[in-house]
Each structure stands twice: as structure tokens, then as C-alpha cells.
Structure 1
Amino acid sequence: MNRALRYASVGVLAVSLLAGGSAAAFAAPQDLHAPSRVVAAAPAAASLTAKASTTTVKAWEQFRISGTAKGIKAGTKVTVQQKQGAKWVSLPAQTPVNTSGTYSVRVKLGIKGVNQLRMGVGATVSPVVTVTVR
């Protein structure tokens, strides 16, 4: 066997060993290009929690809504939503999720009575929290 052929054979063997282990070095050519069976893990479903700092406030009195955000990237803004009739309306109160996956936002409400609130980002929403305004 000439020197060039020996170097080429050793090179192919070395690449095969590095690429697929010893089995790939001696596998039939059709087996080398077979698709691998890799199972990808599904991304964690995004979720939000919410808790109001109080359940009763005076009109325009400030309170906080705090919670955790799982599966939502830090820096993503979560928005306060209020149920008005049959619709959920986004209020101009939002805050970014911090690096530990939590958030806290200050809210003031002027609509007297029982207010249903939740936090939302995209299609992900928190459970409803209720705050009564006197």
C-alpha cells in the first residue's frame, strides 16, 4: 500500500471515530447516514402567578400586585389586565420580569366596587385576583 493511501485510510478512520464512536468506524456506509433518534424535550409551559398586597383600597390608593413568571424570559414586560364587562382590558401598568423570575407592579384603581385583575403576557395569564375599591 503506498503512503498516500495509508494516510487517507488513517484519516478516514480517525474522523469516523471522532464523529460517531468506534461503531461508526466499522459501520456499513448506509448506516453512517441514518437519521439519529434524538428526542427533544418540550419547552416548559409559561405560567404566571399573581397576588395583590391588599384586598380593599380607597379609590386611587396605591397597592401592589406581585408574582412569579415561569418559562418567561427576564426583561419581558407583564401587564395588568382588568375585567370590564365581558372583556379583559390591559391597563397602563406593566413591569418587567426580573432575573429571578419574579415581578411587582404598583396599581391604582378608580372604579369603585369589586375589580377583577390578572397579569398577562402574550397568551399567558395569571389566575384572577380580586380587589375591592371603596
Structure 2
Amino acid sequence: MNRALRYAGVAAATVALLAGGSAVAFAAQDVVHTPAPVVATAPATATLTAKTSATTVKAWQEFRITGAAKGIKAGTKVTVQQKQGKKWVSLPAQAPVNANGSYAIRVKLGIKGVNELRIASGSTLSPVVQVTVR
């Protein structure tokens, strides 16, 4: 019985020494090994391209705007915007960006004359494309 108590006491002392010693070892490691500074990289700027399937259409005739979205997550909606006077107005024509970064939107316009269109996703805008409606 005394032997069992002695072993228990030695085991408890050993655990205490190891725990205390390992804490000192870990603290020494933190002082000696500091992590390398993280270099911040600039996020890739998002870009959109736009190309129309037709440059001239009849009123309410459907055409497509296709393009590529770089730096924009797949599934994000892109919207067609039309210049009306001095303002850009979002049209109800939207499409998600595919996994490969492409998109295709069906569009119908009724305002006759030269229409200026662009694609928008948040603050990212495509170059302006023109479609003439007759």
C-alpha cells in the first residue's frame, strides 16, 4: 500500500514538473520563433467586358450581350444599364456569372435611336456598347 502511494506521489510530481517545464519551453519558443510578417497583396481589380450580338435591331427584338467577368465570383449577378439622358438606369435584364467567368444576357429595347449600354456588378462597370433600335 505504501508503494502505491509513493508511485502516485512520484507520478503527480513528474506531471507537475513536465507541465511546468513544457510551459517554459513553449514560452521560450514564442520568444525565439516569431512569425514572418505578412505581406499584403493588392486585391485583383474586377473587370467586365461586353459585346452585343447585333449592332442594329428592331424595337423589342431580342439580342444578347455576352462577356467575361474577371475578379467577380461565380453566381454574382450582372445587370444591364442603359443611359437615359444623363443618368444610367438599371434594366431588369440580369444574369449570373458562370464558373468560367462568362455571362450572357438577353435584352429587348424599345427606345428608338442609338442606345448606350453597359454591364454593372456593384461598382465594377464594363465599357459602353451601342445598339441602334429602328
User: For the superposition of Structure 1 and Structure 2, which TM-score range results when normalised by the shorter chain?
Assistant: 0.7 to 0.9
- Please provide the CA RMSD for this pair: 2.4
Number of residues of Structure 1 aligned to a counterpart in Structure 2: 121
User: What are the Cα deviations for residues 38-92 of structure 1, in whole angstroms up to 9, with x where unaligned?
Assistant: 1022211111100001101111111000001111111111000000011100001
> Counterpart of 1:59 in structure 2: which amino acid?
A
Q: Which residue of 2 aligns with 1:50?
A: 50
Give 1:10 deviation, angstroms: 5.8
Q: Which residue of 2 aligns with 1:83?
A: 83
Q: Which residue of 2 aligns with 1:117?
A: 117
In the alignment, the residues of structure 1 paired with residue 91 and residue 117 of structure 2 have an alpha-carbon distance, to the nearest angstrom, of 10
Q: Which residue of 1 aligns with 2:70?
A: 70
In the alignment, the residues of structure 1 paired with residue 97 and residue 52 of structure 2 have an alpha-carbon distance, to the nearest angstrom, of 16
In the alignment, the residues of structure 2 paired with residue 83 and residue 7 of structure 1 have an alpha-carbon distance, to the nearest angstrom, of 71
Mapping of residues 98-117 of structure 1, within 5 Å: 98-117=98-117
Q: Which structure 1 residue ranges, 4+ long, deviate > 6 Å from structure 2?
A: none
> Counterpart of 2:73 in structure 1: which amino acid?
K
In the alignment, the residues of structure 1 paired with residue 93 and residue 53 of structure 2 have an alpha-carbon distance, to the nearest angstrom, of 15
User: What are the Cα deviations for residues 15-37 of structure 1, in whole angstroms up to 9, with x where unaligned?
Assistant: 57xxxxxxx74955xxx5x6741
In the alignment, the residues of structure 2 paired with residue 74 and residue 115 of structure 1 have an alpha-carbon distance, to the nearest angstrom, of 28
Q: Give secondary structure in 1 for the equivalent of 2:130.
A: strand
Question: Sequence identity, in percent?
Answer: 65
Q: Which residue of 2 aligns with 1:126?
A: 126
